[in-house]
Amino acid sequence: MFSVGDQVAVIHEAIEGVVLKVQSKKVSIEDLDGFERIYNEKDIVKIAKTEYEIDELDVREVSAYEISATPNKSIPNQKKGKIQPEQSRYNDFEIDLHIEALQERKAFLSNGEILQIQMMACRMFVEKAIHFKNKKVVLIHGKGQGVLKSEIYLYLNRLEETKHIGITYESGSKFVYGDGATQVNFFY
pLDDT one-digit tens code per residue, 70-109: 444 333 343 444 444 444 444 558 999 998 888 877 778 8
Q: Is the pTM of this model over 0.75?
A: no
Distance CA 159, CA 126 (A): 10
- Reported as a single tens digit per residue, the pLDDT across 146-186 is 899 999 999 999 888 888 889 999 999 888 888 899 999 99
Q: How far apart are CA 170 and CA 34, in angstroms?
A: 31
β-strand pairing of 181-187 with 136-140: antiparallel
